[in-house]
Amino acid sequence: MKTIFSKNSFLGLRTIGLIFLAILLMVCDRYVPVFSAVKSALLSIVAPIQYVVSKPITVLDSVISNIESNRRLLKENEELRAQQLFLQTRVQKLLMLEQENSKLRGLVNFISPRQERFLIAQLLAINVDDLSQKIVLDKGRQDEIYIGQPVLDAYGLIGQVILTSFNTSVVLMLTDSKSAIPVQVVRNGVRSIVVGTGSASSLELIHVQETVDIKRGDILVTSSLGGRFPDGYPIGIVTKVERGAGEHFMKILVTPSAHINQTRQVLLTWPVKTVANKVKLDHKDKQPKK
């Protein structure tokens, strides 16, 4: 018991002594000039040590801060790139819509002066190779599509309907090797037949004798000969005229006016004559039989 009390007494005296020493040091620091000089000298000695010890910590903090800053910048950069890609996609989509609207206006402007009925259709499928050049449209018998109906884009005739279902139709393109369309030269009214070559960029005039006045640059349009098409739908421009020795017919190549490989929307037309005939037939069918 005595040892415990002696130990506690010693700790108490030491605490009191330390408190007294602290008070004494504060008084000396405030009122004794020599003490301030000693403190300044000690600070001069300790300061370099503090700098050396704290420098690695400062450098490490700076490195960590730079790494975090770089990570933040990289993340922001990725977000900005994603936004840029999204905006570029939107812009491209808007440009495509603008181009489609422009083409639609061209289609409507082409047909309106003729006062023909028309319907815009979307391409569902394209079958283009050396043997066949056909497209499938999203309009069919429910839309009163009929076999032989002209199909155009904003630049000219694409082809004609050859098959219909309830809600789709198949179009034989004028570039198909089985296609044959009556045409005439705008310059002088010369009539002929243009056939497909199997190439989307070329047509051919057939059975044109050497004496016929056709030359490079002539514009061809549809002819009403045969009653299949109305006059005036653009077909193409003559790009090559060859007169072979000993040949009775010239070889004449034509570049199509229609943008065969760039079309996404087409125009189906009901020529005035066709509509009038349909009205007459409907009226005749409705008359009472005697």
Q: State how far the Cα of 216 lies from the Cα of 241, in Å rounded to an integer.
A: 6
Q: Provide DSSP, 136-170.
A: EES--GGGT--TT-EEE-SSSEEEEEEEE-SS-EE
Would you give the distance in Å from CA 173 to the centre of its chain?
Answer: 25
Q: Provide DSSP, 12-43.
A: HHHHHHHHHHHHHHHHHHHH-HHHHHHHHHHH
Q: State how far the Cα of 63 lies from the Cα of 56, in Å rounded to an integer.
A: 10
Q: State how far the Cα of 265 lies from the Cα of 257, in Å rounded to an integer.
A: 16
Does 81 or 175 have the greater pLDDT score? 175
Phi and psi angles of residue 239, each rounded to the nearest 5 degrees, phi first: -115, -15
Q: How confident is residue 188, by pLDDT bands cut at 50, 70 and 90?
A: very high
Least confident of 78-87, 138-147, 260-269: 78-87
Gyration radius from the chain CA atoms: 46
Q: Provide the residue ranges of all domains of the chain, joining segments of one domain with +.
A: 2-58, 116-271
pLDDT digits (tens, 9 = 90+) for 125-135: 988 776 789 99
* Structure-token pair, residue 227: 């009653």
Position 290 pLDDT exceeds 70: no
Position 287 pLDDT exceeds 60: no
Least confident of 158-172, 237-251, 269-283: 269-283
Mean of all residue pLDDT scores within the chain? 80
Q: What is the pTM of this model?
A: 0.60
Measure Cα distances from 277 to 115, 150, 222, 270 in Å: 15, 16, 20, 11
CATH number of 116-271: 2.40.10.340
pLDDT digits (tens, 9 = 90+) for 18-64: 787 777 777 766 666 666 666 677 667 766 776 676 767 777 777 78
pLDDT recorded at residue 124: 92
